[in-house]
Amino acid sequence: MDESRTFDVVILAAGKGTRMRSTLPKVLHRLAGTSLVEHVIRTARALKPAAIHVVYGHGGETVLEQLKPLGVDGVRQEPQLGTGHALQQAMPLVKSGAVLVLYGDVPLTRTATLAPLVAAAARGALAVLTAELPDPAGYGRIVRDSGGNVLRIVEHKDASDAERKIREVNTGILAAPAAQLRAWLAQLQNNNAQGEYYLTDIIGMAARDGFRIETASAPADWEILGVNSKAQLAELERIHQRNRANELMEQGVTLMDPARFDLRGTLTCGQDVEIDVNVVIEGQVRLGDRVKIGPNNVLKNCTVGADTLVHPNCVIEDAVIGNDCRIGPFARLRPAAEIADRGHIGNFVEIKKSKVGEGSKVNHLAYVGDSTVGKGVNIGAGAITANYDGANKHHTEIGDNASVGSNCVLVAPVKIGDGATLGAGSVISKDAPAGELTVARAKATTIPGWKRPKKRDTRDKIQDTSKKP
């Protein structure tokens, strides 16, 4: 492999995040349901680098544990002596000809914005991502000569009054040939206000050495915004969600209010999908043609078939819903729930690890767990499958076209035959035959002359005790 044509990514993620006011390391705080550093890793991976190295520090073991399943290298920085020192810790792992440096708390940079930096480094240049900000306070400024050539970067706290008026800022993101980067890092000094080794100082070194410095500008300010507080995290969350909402609407999805929509995973939609307000999408969700999702729903890792209507206030997780179904309001579909075409799952109904057949209805206040429900079944209000004996789960089978009366309890394991009818209020603890009515309830008894107890009237007693002797 030609090392000059490959590159590594180093993500600096060692900061403590004091302003987050949290015991959780800053880069592990979540944006759209995913940690900040994982957003950066996903972006880096899309560029197809040879390797990704994450430099961590504060919350070390916690961060390292989160990194393990992501297939990246973890490099510890201890103590934390600045960004230049952090990159020094990772350089021994770099085997490629170039390095792209990203930051674990800057989650919204796009791959298209970073690609020119990688290309410039492959050509042998030092490439720096900059941005023009109306209020550059807090950012390092790009100092250029009269010909527009980059001379150096000065940090805000070390800048003069004249330098603070410069609006072009350094984002911290850069790419460079690995060999030159190693040489510059070895020359870093910490003679600054913070006593740290600034990575930005290598820009001045490159200019001094006559090295070619190229810059690229971030198309949108939000691409370079970092997270240092909960307020900034919330700001980026809304920016990200609005971007995702715009993408969906461009694909033809109708969002009743893009400002009240949260996508924390991946959403795939057919044509003419409508999503009402305050809907939260998590994990992998697929919606078929003409699906309508009412307000206040949570959908996680589920598939919803064409022409299905999900009424308000439902929670649907790890479930599969067929075509032309009606779900809710206030329904809960738990993992491994499968609703076939034209199924109805109504208000305050819970389905768990069960298959509900085509055209079957569970419309009111019912629980179906660990069950197989056939076609055309009607399950009445208040009916439940008693699937748990305190130690083990047991299965209930309900045949096609069966009718389960209101307030029935089906004590699993039990089988209800095709076309069977269960009388309301029955406790069914043994198989019910097909095509027959099965009733299992206590005989009604009337007790003549029985009087309902009356509440004792304590008002007189209270009045008596309040009198003075």
Phi-psi region of 272 (alpha: psi -120 to 50; beta: other; left: phi over 0): left
Ranges of the chain whose pLDDT falls below 70: 1-5, 458-469
C-alpha 130/C-alpha 147 separation (Å) is: 17
pLDDT at position 158: 85
pLDDT at position 138: 86
pLDDT digits (tens, 9 = 90+) for 285-304: 999 999 999 999 999 999 99
For residue 344 the two structure tokens come to 């109805």
Identity of residue 289: D
Which domains are present in the chain? 3-224 (3.90.550.10), 230-438 (2.160.10.10)
Whole-number Cα distances in Å, 81 to 14, 194, 229: 10, 9, 21
With tokens 């075509």, the residue in question is: 323
C-alpha 20/C-alpha 36 separation (Å) is: 13
C-alpha 321/C-alpha 306 separation (Å) is: 9
pLDDT at position 60: 77
In the annotation, is 394 catalytic?
no
DSSP string for 223-278? GG----SHHHHHHHHHHHHHHHHHHHHHTT-EES-GGGEEEEEEEEE-TT-EE-TT
pLDDT at position 64: 87
Question: What does pLDDT average to over the chain?
Answer: 93
Rg (CA), the chain: 32
Verify cis geometry, omega within 30 degrees of 0, for the bond prior to 79: yes
29, 85, 364, 395: the catalytic one is 364
C-alpha 177/C-alpha 100 separation (Å) is: 9
C-alpha 144/C-alpha 141 separation (Å) is: 10
pLDDT at position 5: 57
